[in-house]
Amino acid sequence: MTESLVDAAPRRLGSRTVGALSFGCWRFTSRDIGVAGALLDTALELGMNLVDTADVYGLDWNGTGFGSVEELLGRVITDRPQRREAMVLATKGGIIPGIPYDSSPAALRSALEASLRRLGVEHVDLYQVHRPDLFTHPEVLADTLRSFIDSGRVSMVGVSNVTVAQTRALRVHLGDALVSTQPEFSAAHLDPLRDGTFDLCMELDVTPLAWSPLGGGRLLDDNDASVRTELRLVLDEIAGREGVSRACVAVAFVLAHPARPIAILGTQQPDRLRELNRAAQVKLDRTDLYRIIVASEGMPLP
């Protein structure tokens, strides 16, 4: 096997250094603060110091409603304040159920203030616009995000689920203050490879945060028809060679791109976090990576 392209070294996120694996809070909905705290502690111990949440988290995955995940995370931080010191805390806003998206200055200011209250903190390290509001001019959005930084309530800003064109338009007005973009990316969802997202990240030195690196669990479900059987077979073959699970190979695939994505892990089981941390040990060369792409897309490369 030739040199492995899997890069599990820490990433630079703006002015901060974070792990290649991140702890995602979409499903962080435990009613037991002790269980929730232990899960977060496991992530931090494993070097997953970027903790990614959003104000809308809690509307599903057994949550109790809008903002409930931030509230739980806030309770966990209050229960042991040193947890806050160990993490790079990221949250998102801009989704308003029923509208559905609003990135106007008043709406985002209100969203940020509410997030800070629920989290019980005076500032967050990264604030991202969760979904693009097609009716807010990028210059207006840039002014709003810059005001968050100037106020000291936010250290860094980014975007999520945006197009390349939307990122470019915002970058014109926001400049280097834009440090991150959060696309869906996995062996089952290759869009950032093809639509220019990762190319733009490398051009602008923006850090990609890859959500659903396991395809929302689809890569692990042998009965999910949305994932080609050939892809699972290739992942399993490599997993057998590497002595790890299929999930570890899938996460390692995300870490191999030269844009240096951060893989956001959504599992809510400490043992699974420990298992997925073994993705750092997986070796994938170009042949492996292109085999995964071909198996995912079902088409030979030109």
* Residue 225 tokens, joined: 């028809």
What CA–CA distance (Å, rounded) separates 154 from 126? 6
Looking from the CA of 211 toward its CB, the CA atoms found within 13 Å total: 18
Side chain identity at residue 145, one-letter code: L
C-beta of residue 36 within 8 angstroms of C-beta of residue 28: yes
Catalytic residue (one of 57, 101, 127, 290): 57
Answer yes or no: 127 catalytic: no
The rounded distance, in Å, linking the Cα atoms of 133 and 115 is 19
Query: Which residues are catalytically annotated?
Result: 57
